[in-house]
Amino acid sequence: MLESAQALIRKTAEKMRLDAETIKRLIEPEMIHEFAFPVIMDNGKKKVFKGWRIQHNSALGPYKGGIRFHPETVREEVQALATLMSIKCAVAGLPYGGAKGGIAVDPKKLSRTELERLSKAYVEKIAHFIGENIDIPAPDVNTNPQIMAVMLDKYQKIKGYKSPATFTGKPVSMGGSLGRTEATGRGGLFVLKALLSKLKSKILNHKSQINPKSQIKNSKQFGTSNLEFSALSVAIQGFGNVGYYFAKLSQEDGFKIVAVSDSKGGVVKKLKVDELQPLDIPLTMKCKREKGSLAGCYCVGGVCDLGGGQTITNEELLELPVDILVPAALENVINEKNMKNIKAKIIVEMANGPITEEAYEYLSKKGIIIVPDVLANSGGVIVSYLEWVQGKARYWWSEKEVNSKLEEMIARAFETIWNKSVAKKISLKQAAFEVAIERITSAMV
């Protein structure tokens, strides 16, 4: 993962004819904090954990990035993610650099009190090099608002003063922002709609599942006419926070969500061999919560049952004949093994790195439009920025205001990348990386 991230930056920077020393500064992290620390377990014994906080680049502003708890977390992964956070923040136009933190731990094997002690011990290690104007952590894999609350409380006790802007992704009661829970999924939807507003003429003439009779409606959201989305079919791999809210909000906007999946598989409904029918997303989530997974679960007509649809694997979902495919779970799920079977015309990368480089090149040459992860899933960090601003000002906005600011900022980021893509006849991904590198290098001294 680290080699891939660095290679992508190097390749883009070389095309931009940047010198070797500038490229080195873009790739190498400014600070690597690696440490081991003991935690007292419930049985009274001490257990040593390995942790990291890697601060990649601060040219544009304070470091920003999440903290993950995962048994397979290693330094290389944390460094790769910190590197990509620098790119993502620059793509979004935020005054942030990139960072990432992590602990090699399986949080499912810890009690609530052990998890709290682990979180506090980690903060004791990083407290002297984070802060609202230095480095602002947030939730990531297996961390959440409650863990951020514990970490912020410990940090404030160490420092001896209140500093709600030092951590984002907190509970609203501790200075968190309204709209943060749905932000990543909502941001991805805003980007998709911005893309469709640019592609409307091509889509209306496309000989595929996309309905050529779709109606054009006036929309002030993107400054241009907008599509009636009900003819567009969408399959989403991943039904966690990001995938669920992308599905729920997209369906509310009229998109036809025909398949969703979680780690154990997914559901789809077919009335005919080649015709996919829409799912009811809120009822599907209700069924998942009742049954523990999506596999074998389908909801229709207000009743959750097993008879309305059929199960599919995650691999099968990726190859469905849909207009829009949204990988929102794992990295590298679209690769050389399945790339020739992908039928979607648009792919929105809501997961980090869901498409391998080889598959990306193949799909791009086929004319498939891919919205890169550094743009598509930047809604989370944008609202984290808005939370940070609110925390520093000690003034909090309504959810409507937050969502409006998110839409404005992510639409502006898309517009910049789209314009560069069109002007230079390059992919959205390359355009995104060029925009980010231009912004970072222009701020370097």
| Catalytic positions | 100
Strand partners, 216: 227
> Which residue spans within 265-398 are E strands per DSSP?
265-272, 275-277, 298-300, 303-305, 310-312, 324-327, 346-348, 369-371
- Please, what's the b/e burial string for 276-299 (b: 16 or more CB within 10 A of its CB; e: otherwise)? bebbbbebbbebbeeeebbbebbb
Contact 395, 402 (CB under 8 A): no
Tally of helices (H runs) and strands (E runs) in the chain:
14, 17
Q: How far apart (Å, rounded) are the C-alpha atoms in residues 370 and 385?
A: 26
Main-chain phi, psi angles of 204, to 5 degrees: -65, -25
- Positive or negative torsion for Cα 157, 163, 164, 165: negative
Contact 4, 335 (CB under 8 A): no
Contact 56, 29 (CB under 8 A): yes
